[in-house]
Amino acid sequence: MNYLKKDNLSIYHEQKATFQFIYDHVDLSKITFVGGVADYINLRDYYKMPVHDLDIIFQDEEDLKEIIKKIGVKKYTSSFYKIDQMEVLVAKFFINNKSVHIDFFKLNNIREGISKSYLLGKQVQHSSFKSMQTFHNTYVGKLTSDVLGEKYEWKRLYKHSKKASLYNMITYQKEKLVKELIHA
């Protein structure tokens, strides 16, 4: 099954409409999908994984001007990830009496590995497999403990632990296959 068909079957209608809105109003070379969208792209060959909200990295607010004009955003300062400047623009895209949450994270120096893949028929930039694996295994646990302490939610910890396990299992299976091929 090709990715367009898989994406159309796997991504909810409201999220598809939100992606199309982004595609229509932003130069895709100026943004990078991170978070759950990157996880979906990186893991879709192995697991069925829903996309709920959209997390996007941008560098210049000017690149988002059409979105800001069409649906508006609220600006926040985030210290959650403690990486570079962390200005967050939060928007909601409304469709069918539902809303899809969009977070735009402003990062001046993107430190993550970036990959390109097709998502709903468009080539997009996203955090690489290795980058998201490292994030789920390392950064989430350290940073959320530092920031939230005892207020850290076990559901969030479980979600990130589960994703780290998925990335780790895929890496293990690939390494195992390579070893078997070498010794065959």
DSSP 33-92: EEHHHHHHHHHTTT------SEEEEES-GGGGHHHHHHH--EEEE--SS--S--EEEEEE
Strand ordering across the sheet containing 54-58:
74-77, 87-95, 98-106, 54-58, 31-34, 122-127, 114-119
* pLDDT of amino acid 144: 64
* pLDDT of amino acid 41: 98
Q: Taking the chain (184 residues) in consecutive chunks of 10 residues, what is each chunk's mean pLDDT?
A: 92 97 97 96 93 94 95 83 70 94 83 89 97 85 66 71 92 91 84
Q: Which CATH class is domain 3-182?
A: alpha beta
Distance CA 49, CA 39 (A): 8
**Residue whose pair of structure tokens reads 């990715």 in the numeric block:** 3
The residues spanned by each domain of the chain are 3-182
Beta strands 98-106; 54-58: pairing state: parallel
Which residues fall within 8 angstroms of residue 94, CB to CB, at 6 or more apart?
A: 71
Distance CA 159, CA 36 (A): 11
Structure tokens at 84: 């570079």
* pLDDT of amino acid 176: 92
Structure tokens at 13: 């209608």
* pLDDT of amino acid 160: 79
Rg value, the chain, Cα:
17
Question: Which residues pair with residue 55 across a beta bridge?
Answer: 34, 103
- The residue type at 61: E
